[in-house]
Amino acid sequence: MTMAAINGVLGAIDPSDLGFTLMHEHVLVANHSMRKAFPDWIDREERVAFAVGEIQAAKELGVRTIVDLTPINLGRDIEIIREVAEKAEVQMIAATGFYWHEEPWFIGWEADRLVEWLLRDIEHGIEGTDVKAGIVKCATDAPGITDLNRKLLTVAARLHCASGVPISTHTDVQNRSGLAQQDIFEEEGVDLSRVVIGHCGDSEDLDYLEAILKRGSFIGMDRFGLNQLLSFEKRVETVAELCRRGYSERMVVSHDACCGIDWFPGMDLSEAMPEWNFRHLCNDVIPALRKKGVTEEEILDLTVANPRRVFEKQGAY
């Protein structure tokens, strides 16, 4: 059976060609409204050059594909994403969907009307380009599943059902929102094996993680480098223990790193968080997993085989 091609930033990608894939990263997170009001809000040329350098460095370590999970209302800029992909000569996959922020304009919109708009990103192209989205992003954070958040998750679920592209989420492990997300997706008829429940790597609660896994979804161990949220050692041990329990085929790994982000003015992130970059997995995490007894086959699952499993069941659209 031939699987449908994946919508990539530089064109269609055969699932068998994904290779080592970082499943949850960001080229740029920068507020659209501030950028429109103040054209010099970011130094575009500087941000592009930095991103190209970061991605080329990761590519030299073996990374072949990067999934940029920046949704529409988190500052997604498809022109910058495409320019970076072209200059770095790397496969990239862009997202559509909404972040968890409860913006007032969402209130009056029915979920199906929003789905109609977002389908354009997948079927025709993002922001007037021919770059089509290859994944749906959605999110739940500290407020949990509010009425408005339920609507946004419903949009993601129906967008997946209409298009065949997978879903990847942002969660807050403190409120175990991954399980609540699965509930809504299941109600909407989503195949939970096409879903990555994100930021599970922030937790060492194995009961919570196994509850998600047993329902068929992938979990994102995708914040390596953010040691302020959970230590490097605990992140590595949690992945290793889940491999021991037989779940190597249900985890994907990444950093949730940003080559540019306007949330921390004046802060040098490379100094404040020196491991929060696209190289950390190759340089530090994988060697540490090997020391914990994770096998080469299991590492291949985490980095190559599982990303393909997430994407390869896409329907025709």
Given this model, what pLDDT does residue 2 score? 44
The values of phi and psi at residue 228, to 5°, are: -70, -30
Given this model, what pLDDT does residue 317 score? 33
Does an H or E element contain 240, and which?
Answer: helix 232-244
- pLDDT tens digit string along 27-60? 999 999 999 999 999 999 999 999 999 999 999 9
- pLDDT tens digit string along 2-26? 458 999 999 999 999 999 999 999 9
Distance, in Å, from the CA atom of 227 to the CA atom of 236, rounded to the nearest integer, reads 11
Distance, in Å, from the CA atom of 107 to the CA atom of 137, rounded to the nearest integer, reads 19
Given this model, what pLDDT does residue 314 score? 58
Tokens linked to 135 = 């994944």
Q: Tell me the domains of the chain and their CATH numbers.
A: 15-311 (3.20.20.140)
**Non-local CB neighbours of 126 within 8 Å, separated by 6+ positions:** 76, 78, 94, 96, 132, 133
Q: Is residue 83 exposed (0-12), middle (13-18) or buried (19+ Cβ within 10 Å)?
A: middle
Distance, in Å, from the CA atom of 147 to the CA atom of 47, rounded to the nearest integer, reads 36
Predicted TM-score of the model (pTM): 0.96
The values of phi and psi at residue 3, to 5°, are: -85, 150
Query: The dihedral of CA 292, 295, 300, 306: what is its sign?
Result: negative
Beta bridge partner(s), residue 168: 137, 196
Statement: residue 192 has pLDDT above 50: yes
Cα of 171 vs its chain's centroid, Å: 11
pLDDT band at 204 (very low <50, low <70, confident <90, very high): very high
Tokens linked to 279 = 């190289």
Distance, in Å, from the CA atom of 201 to the CA atom of 68, rounded to the nearest integer, reads 18
Given this model, what pLDDT does residue 3 score? 58
Distance, in Å, from the CA atom of 132 to the CA atom of 154, rounded to the nearest integer, reads 21
